């Protein structure tokens, strides 16, 4: 089995690669552009594994992608994306290029060369925002609220069109917010942990009452493995762990874990169009594929706080920008 994982140098992709190589004897190609969010240090443990190959390239680059598909790819798992809502509000162009055009290029190559499965990693954000009641099911209307989620929705529709038109065996997964080791410290949980360790202010948007449904990245990887092997083509699977938390409560919990004062909390201007609440109904995945999340949120968060305490070099290099210098030298010839 030869797997093409895109965006494998990012947070979820790198966790997925480590997970798959620990479990199976697959050949695995990681295609990653190494944007600001891509960090090969996330894969230090497996970088010399003979089953693993890294290719520095862009999913929207047709020539690069087609060359890879000549190597008999069996399964594509497309994680590559621009992934931060706030950045999409500042500059949506790269979100359309990578998340939509990049997905199209991959779908087109997969159609031409043939694959057994094409897993499109989507997000619960395509469903938009919930009020205080209710859950997103796979049948909920698509109603994205940010340029990021709109670009992911467009990619989902395109992927499903390739299933309908060309019978490409596409499966879409829509997961809730992930947390865990190697998450780039611009997202809520790692930003708050690392700022708190450094006694810097913790910027909470608006009143801090927005709700997200949190899933440990390892539970996400287990779900993706199941979907990849047993999921039905043409289907969407929601992935979520029923762990709804208000942002402010997460921030308080992190401060408590670290023994830091709540005076570090700073309420800042709200994100424009800030989705109020996400909550996933993952019944389909649980019933069809027997998936169950294993992490209790409080335990997972505690472990994650410990991970950031024990891996300060990893995130300090990111926060200082030092990790970019290494790649700029390494790939300067391209
Ligand atoms: P991330 O930002 O940590 O990583 C994205 C990776 O994609 C990086 O390694 C980056 O270098 C790479 N990349 C970006 N543009 C590329 C391009 N044009 N070509 C090749 N590589 C490119 O993101 P993440 O949090 O790991 O998210 C991975 C996927 O999961 C995304 O598709 C995201 O929409 C989805 N998702 C994320 C979450 C979450 O909570 N993080 C939740 C649900 C779904
Ligand atoms: P984020 O991690 O960006 O994920 P998403 O917006 O895709 O769900 O943000 C999670 C929540 O935390 C969201 O409601 C916005 C909020 N937030 C803050 O309050 N402060 C911050 O500095 C960040 C990055 C996010």
Structure tokens that stand for 266 in this block: 């700073």
pLDDT at 125: 98
Global model pTM greater than 0.85: yes
Q: Is 205 in the pocket of ligand 2 (CB under 6 A)?
A: yes
Task: Tell me the average pLDDT of the chain.
Answer: 97
The closest alpha carbon to 73, from 154, 171, 2, 17, belongs to: 2
> Across residues 300-310, what is the average pLDDT?
98
- Quick one: CA dihedral 103, 105, 106, 112, positive or negative? positive
Distances (CA, A) of 57 to 7, 42, 79: 10, 17, 14
- Over residues 182-239, the pLDDT tens digits come to 999 999 999 999 999 999 999 999 999 999 999 999 999 999 999 999 999 999 999 9
Query: Any residues with Cβ below 6 Å from ligand 1, and which?
Result: 6-7, 9-13, 31-35, 37-38, 58-60, 79-83, 98, 102, 121, 123, 152, 175, 177-178, 184
- Quick one: CA dihedral 209, 213, 214, 217, positive or negative? negative
Task: For the chain, list the domains and their CATH numbers.
Answer: 2-330 (3.40.50.720)
pLDDT at 326 over 70: no
Q: Is 318 in the pocket of ligand 2 (CB under 6 A)?
A: no
Q: Is 210 in the pocket of ligand 2 (CB under 6 A)?
A: yes
Burial of 195 (0-12, 13-18, 19+ CB in 10 A): buried
Helices (H), the chain: 11-23, 62-69, 85-90, 93-95, 103-113, 147-166, 188-197, 217-230, 247-258, 283-289, 297-310, 312-320, 322-330
Closest ligand to residue 119's CA: 1
Which of 5, 6, 7, 127, when mutated, tests ligand 1's pocket best, judged by the most ligand atoms within 8 Å of its CB? 7
pLDDT at 328 over 90: no
Three-state secondary-structure class, residue 49? coil
In the numeric block, the tokens 């359309």 are attached to 96
pLDDT at 280: 98
């Amino acid at each position: 089995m030869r797997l093409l994982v895109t965006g494998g140098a990012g947070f979820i992709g790198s966790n997925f690669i480590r997970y798959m190589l620990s479990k199976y004897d697959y050949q695995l190609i990681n295609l990653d552009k190494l944007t600001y969010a891509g960090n090969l240090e996330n894969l230090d443990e497996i970088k010399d594994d003979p089953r693993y190959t890294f290719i520095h390239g862009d999913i929207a680059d047709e020539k690069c992608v087609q060359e890879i598909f000549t190597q008999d790819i069996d399964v594509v798992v497309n994680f590559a994306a621009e992934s931060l809502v706030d950045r999409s509000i500042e500059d949506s162009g790269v979100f359309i290029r990578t998340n939509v055009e990049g997905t199209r290029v991959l779908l087109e190559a997969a159609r031409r060369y043939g694959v057994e499965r094409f897993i499109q990693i989507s997000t619960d954000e395509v469903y938009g925002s919930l009020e205080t009641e209710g859950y997103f099911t796979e049948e909920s209307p698509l109603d994205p609220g940010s340029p990021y989620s709109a670009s992911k929705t467009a990619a989902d529709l395109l992927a499903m069109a390739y299933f309908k038109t060309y019978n490409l065996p596409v499966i879409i997964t829509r997961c809730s917010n992930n947390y865990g080791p190697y998450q780039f410290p611009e997202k809520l949980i790692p930003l708050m942990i690392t700022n708190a360790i450094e006694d810097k202010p913790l910027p909470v948007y608006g009143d801090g009452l927005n709700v997200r449904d949190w899933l440990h990245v390892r539970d996400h990887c287990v779900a993706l493995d199941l979907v990849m092997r047993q999921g039905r083509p043409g289907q969407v699977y929601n992935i979520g762990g029923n762990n709804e938390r208000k942002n402010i409560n997460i921030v308080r919990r992190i401060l408590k874990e670290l023994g830091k004062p709540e005076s570090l909390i700073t309420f800042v201007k709200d994100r424009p169009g800030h989705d109020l609440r996400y909550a996933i109904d993952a019944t389909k995945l649980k019933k069809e594929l027997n998936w169950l999340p294993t992490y209790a949120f409080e335990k997972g968060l505690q472990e994650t706080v410990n991970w950031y305490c024990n891996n300060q070099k990893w995130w300090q290099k990111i926060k200082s920008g030092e990790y970019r210098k290494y790649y700029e030298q390494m790939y300067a010839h391209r």
